[in-house]
């Protein structure tokens, strides 16, 4: 058994405490770097929403798992290089890490060609950390408007990964404000350590890895070719 049932119960309790409907909160099981057996266990328990942070790793395991388990919703939650856009659009139902103009142009061009596009979130670097992906908070409104109006991209929400060494709530609050003023209904925030607080601040998607699957063990085969 994974930690899935316990986390599902905690999501429901946090929703209730916040006066929200748990059905409006997606639990994204973050399966990156997890041994395949653990991922299969969570699929066998009936879960169908998963997150991966590397295109190449996801390519190595999800096509086969989709064939076996059917209607999976797969979210890209890690940085996307422009040369991996096609592969990402082939594989993912949702891309949560749109964070720069060049990437927006590339996705828009590809979307035009195929006549379809995954749902998109704009990633916001709420902590303005130099090493972290995401658009700066002060540039978010203009970027979101440009993606929608100029590139006609299906932006449905915003996503953030708060700094590891700061209380997350101010970051959740900032992201919620950006969503609100841009009329976006989806908010991806909260991980294993803080998903209940994120739900209190309006998260509609929480990304939980280790609390469901157990600690990530580097070096254990994941069923994917490693991308280095
Ligand atoms: C790995 C990862 C998570 C899950 O982290 P846990 O602490 O294991 O829950 C969530 N979001 C992103 C973007 C990640 O890369």
- Give φ, ψ of 35 to 5 degrees: -60, 145
Q: Is residue 227 part of a domain?
A: no
Residues contacting 204, CB < 8 A, separation 6+: 24, 25, 26, 157, 185, 186, 187, 188
Query: What is the 112 CA–ligand 1 centroid distance (Å)?
Result: 31
Tell me what the pLDDT averaged over the chain comes to.
95
Q: Is residue 206 part of a domain?
A: yes
> Is 221 inside a domain boundary?
no
> Tokens 């006066």 map to which residue?
19
- CATH label of the domain that carries residue 20: 3.20.20.10
Distance from C-alpha of 194 to C-alpha of 132, rounded to nearest angstrom: 19
Q: At a CB cut-off of 8 Å and minimum separation 6, what does 81 contact?
A: none
What does the pLDDT read at residue 220? 57
Please give all residues whose beta carbon lies within 6 A of any atom in ligand 1, as ranges: 30, 32, 53, 77-78, 161, 191-192, 207-211
Instruction: Residue 30: give the domain boundaries.
Output: 3-213
The single residue listed with the structure tokens 């990964």 is: 161
Output the pLDDT for position 193: 97
pLDDT tens profile 103-135: 999 999 999 999 999 999 999 999 999 999 999
CA nearest ligand 1 atom 12, residue:
77
Residue identifier of the C-alpha nearest atom 5 of ligand 1: 209
Token pair 């992201």 is found at 175
For ligand 1, the distance from its centroid to the CA atom of residue 31, given in whole angstroms, is: 9
On whether the CB atoms of residues 42 and 29 are closer than 8 A, the answer is yes
What is the total count of domains within the chain?
A: 1
The answer to whether position 220 is within a domain reads no
Task: Point out the ligand 1 atom lying closest to the alpha carbon of residue 77.
Answer: 13
Tell me what the mean pLDDT of segment 60-82 comes to: 97
As a whole number of Å, the end-to-end CA separation of the chain is 30
Q: How far is the centre of ligand 1, averaged over its atoms, from the C-alpha of 117 (Å)?
A: 24
Q: Which atom of ligand 1 is nearest to the CA of 32?
A: 1
């Amino acid at each position: 058994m994974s930690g899935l049932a316990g986390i599902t119960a905690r999501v429901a309790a946090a929703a209730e405490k916040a006066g929200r409907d748990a059905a409006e909160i997606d639990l994204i099981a973050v399966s990156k770097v997890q041994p395949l057996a653990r991922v299969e266990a969570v699929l066998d328990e009936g879960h169908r929403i998963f997150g991966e942070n590397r295109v190449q790793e996801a390519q190595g395991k999800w096509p086969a798992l989709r064939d076996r388990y059917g209607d999976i919703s797969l979210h890209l939650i890690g940085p996307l290089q422009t040369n991996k856009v096609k592969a990402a659009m082939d594989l993912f139902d949702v891309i949560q890490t749109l964070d720069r103009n060049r990437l927006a142009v590339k996705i828009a061009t590809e979307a035009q060609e195929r006549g379809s596009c995954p749902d998109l979130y704009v990633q916001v670097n709420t902590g303005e950390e130099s090493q972290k992906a995401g658009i700066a908070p002060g540039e978010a409104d203009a970027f979101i408007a440009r993606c929608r109006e100029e590139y006609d991209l299906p932006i449905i929400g915003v996503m953030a990964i708060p700094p590891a060494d700061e209380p997350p709530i101010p970051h959740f609050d900032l992201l919620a404000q950006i969503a609100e003023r841009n009329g976006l209904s989806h908010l991806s925030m909260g991980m294993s350590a803080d998903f209940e607080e994120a739900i209190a601040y309006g998260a509609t998607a929480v990304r939980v890895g280790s609390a469901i699957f157990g600690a990530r063990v580097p070096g254990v085969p994941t069923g994917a070719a490693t991308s280095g």
